[in-house]
Amino acid sequence: MKFNTKTIHGGQEHDPAYGAVMPPIYQTSTYAQTTPGGHKGFEYSRTHNPTRKALENSLASIENGKFGLAFASGLAAIDAVIKLLKPGDEVISTNDLYGGTYRLFTKIFEDFGIKFHFIGMENEDKVASYVNENTKLIWVETPTNPMMNIIDIKAMAEVSKKHNLLLAVDNTFATPYLQRPLDLGADIVMHSATKYIGGHSDLVMGALIVKDEKIAEKLYFIQNASGAVCGPQDSFLALRGIKTLHIRMQRHCENGEAIAKYLKNHPKIEKVFWPGFEDHPNHNIAKAQMDGFGGMISFVTKGSNYEKAIKIVENLKIFTLAESLGGVESLAGHPASMTHASIPKEEREKTGVVDALIRLSVGIEDVDDLIADLEQAIG
């Protein structure tokens, strides 16, 4: 199947009970057994649930993986990946990453003896220079949040394979519509399914997808043992969201391109960060490993003025000032005080997350209305 068909049919089958076309919401915690261990594949919903299983099969399909795992949040999914490690192990991570990931790494797992190196990943030689006998994992986010930096997944895969490391890629911004990291050599793909996968700002969820059965077995064990699973209602909503992922992403990309170009030509805007521009760092890599450039944009006003940036996000009418991204509605955020507030100011400013930076999640509304809203807000 091609991608647009996979979103609707990939990994899916009609419900065996009554032939329901959409998987029912199995709102149950436990399942009847005829004898101890005599069940129909499901015994307790932390371990397995038919609705969640349908979602996990769909996730595996759209990422060209074999095994999908759904979690209660994106951070719960990341938490499970780091639990593959032991005290003394080291992780090489991009220095421009989601604030919640940074907080989990530094405030939780560093206390358990895992060491993290946060570096720019613009080339593989720099990454390779940080590898030592304790290195076990390379953590990649591409495009990064919020600077839209592009990391070469194939190059990172070469480093990871040469040194026998795991490569995990946060594919939240691109989605499998634009980028499929497993095909490029990654071992684990992570999604905050809260975002584009769900697509309607009505659920919180995380996902992992892998090809290797041994890695899958370890992650399924952690998923069950730690218990951070999503419920059947959210699983149902995410499945419904996936079925329109391809058409939503097409519009996100179209609108994103139009708004990025509008902002770049605006006399009051100093810099626009969007991977589709030829002068964007690693644009050629984005062009090679992605099928489009997405609907996420960051920008800074002329003079990098904090007060002006705050005034813009306060004045927006169609764009909603809110955390998160990837919904059908357009959102605006101020990373320094919202999504990346957990990163120390001097650390985030090194990567470009200055106090005047604004991040847009461009929705699927009429693009003329979105541009008009930005026009009146920028003034």
| 79, 96, 152, 170: the active-site residue | 170
Please check whether residue 58 is in contact with residue 191, taking contact to mean a CB–CB distance below 8 angstroms.
no
Does 220 qualify as catalytic in the annotation? no
* Sequence-ordered list of residues with C-beta below 8 angstroms from that of 219, at least 6 positions apart, any chain: 67, 69, 80, 81, 84, 188, 208, 210
Helical axes 213-226 vs 74-82, angle rounded to 10°: 120
Name the helix (H) or strand (E) containing 185. none
Does 46 qualify as catalytic in the annotation? yes
Does 195 qualify as catalytic in the annotation? yes
| 52, 83, 136, 195: the active-site residue | 195
For 320, the token pair is: 């909603």
Q: What does the alpha-carbon distance between residue 26 and residue 47 come to, in Å, rounded to a whole number? A: 14
| 52, 79, 96, 98: the active-site residue | 98
In the block, residue with structure tokens 């003079």: 303
- Please report how many Cα atoms fall inside a 13 Å half-sphere around the Cα of residue 98, on the Cβ side: 22
From residue 55, give the alpha-carbon distance in Å to each of 68, 134, 196, 331. Answer: 8, 35, 15, 26
| 15, 46, 261, 350: the active-site residue | 46
Does 152 qualify as catalytic in the annotation? no
From residue 186, give the alpha-carbon distance in Å to each of 101, 167, 169, 209, 239. Answer: 19, 5, 7, 10, 24
Active-site positions?
Answer: 46, 98, 170, 195
